[in-house]
Amino acid sequence: MSNVVVPTTLDEALALLAADPQLSPLAGGTDFMVEVNHGARRPVRVLALRAVAELRGWRRDGDVLVIGAGCTYVSMADPAFAVAAPALAQAARTIGSPQIRNMGTIGGNLATASPAGDTLPVLMALGARVEVASTEGTRTLAVDELITGVKRTVLHPAELITSVRIPVARGPQEFCKIGTRNAMVISAAGIAVVLDREAHTVGCGLGSVTAAPVRATDAETFAAEAIDWSTLRAGAGTTERFGTLAADAATPIDDHRSTAAYRRHAIGVMARRALERCLS
């Protein structure tokens, strides 16, 4: 009886999970192994997901990008991916280090549900849909339905995130993140701004400044109405007001990485600049 299983199909993986409540799923390991190494997690039996074909890679399905939960951050550096999902590609580039980007996965970012997860504000701004599966079937959740608090998801032990669906870019997108160092830095504050030229909507996701993922909905509504969608321009004061509204949606804390006041300030500045870039 092996304590490590390496299934090659999703059905196999789900069946194993359903049969064994002590089986821990392992994807890239960039969060899982940190916990093990620190003594915070003591695995009993492990389900390695790296060989499950259905979880790998990404594909374009018309207007939708379907990203496998096992898609690594480095895969998002692919120019074709960056064209379809610019803000997500930008975010992926800021995560960790080249080593981490080779190993870490978008599914892991969602399942770990850290408030500082760099893909989360982008996925929120895009209105991403997360597909979750078990032997009982599948369900589709918004990111803020999946993640309910700091490192808290609604996932049942026998469920796996299988894919994330986002709309292919239909307008300018920006991702910005604050870190006191230029590499390998946990975001003190992050933001994603997504413009949809066809739907005339603005998506704005905030990172590291709320317990659970949040969209700055007042800022989104304001900008959507203020932007002239035919020229992608907006009147004076629009980006500043957008920044203020985005900052108002943040509920940051003081911690050893930064202060609440700075984080709120940074959100406001980044939101303004991100929208300026989108409109220029």
Interface ranges with another protein (CB under 8 A): 2-4, 6, 26, 28-30, 32-34, 36-39, 41-46, 48, 50-51, 90, 93-94, 96-100, 102-103, 174-188, 190, 255-259, 261-262, 265-266, 269-270, 273, 277
Q: Which is nearer to another protein, 66 or 278 (CB)?
A: 278
Cβ 184 to another protein, closest distance in Å? 6
**Cβ 160 vs Cβ 17: under 8 Å:** yes
Q: How far is the CB of 22 from another protein (least distance, A)?
A: 9
As a whole number of angstroms, the distance between CA 248 and CA 3 comes to 49
Indicate the residue among 30 and 210 with the shorter CB distance to another protein.
30
Decide whether 9 or 259 has the Cβ nearer to another protein.
Answer: 259
Q: How many CB atoms lie within 10 A of CB 56?
A: 16
Q: CB of 57: closest distance to another protein in angstroms?
A: 15
Q: Buried b / exposed e across 244-261, counting CB within 10 Å, b at 16+? A: bbbbebbebeeeebbeee
Measured from the CB atom, the residue of 27 and 133 that comes closer to another protein is 27
CB of 20: closest distance to another protein in angstroms?
A: 12
Helix or strand run (H / E) with residue 99: helix 98-103
The distance of closest approach from Cβ of residue 140 to another protein in the complex, given in angstroms and rounded to an integer, is: 29
Residue with tokens 């089986």: 23
Comparison of 167 and 268: residue with beta carbon closer to another protein = 268
Match 């739907």 to its residue by tokens: 199
d(CA 105, CA 102): 9
Among residues 246, 88, 71, 228, which one has the least CA distance to residue 161?
71
Nearest alpha carbon to residue 68 among 83, 88, 79, 53: 53
**Least distance in angstroms from the C-beta of 35 to another protein:** 9
Contact of 165 with 138, CB cutoff 8 Å: no
155: number of Cβ within 10 Å? 19
Please report how close the Cβ of residue 95 comes to another protein at its closest, in angstroms.
9
Identify which of residues 56 and 273 has a Cβ nearer to another protein in the complex: 273
**Distance from C-alpha of 100 to C-alpha of 28, rounded to nearest angstrom:** 9
The DSSP letter of residue 169 is P
Looking at beta carbons only, is 165 or 265 nearer to another protein?
A: 265
Using alpha carbons only, how large is the chain's radius of gyration in Å?
Answer: 19
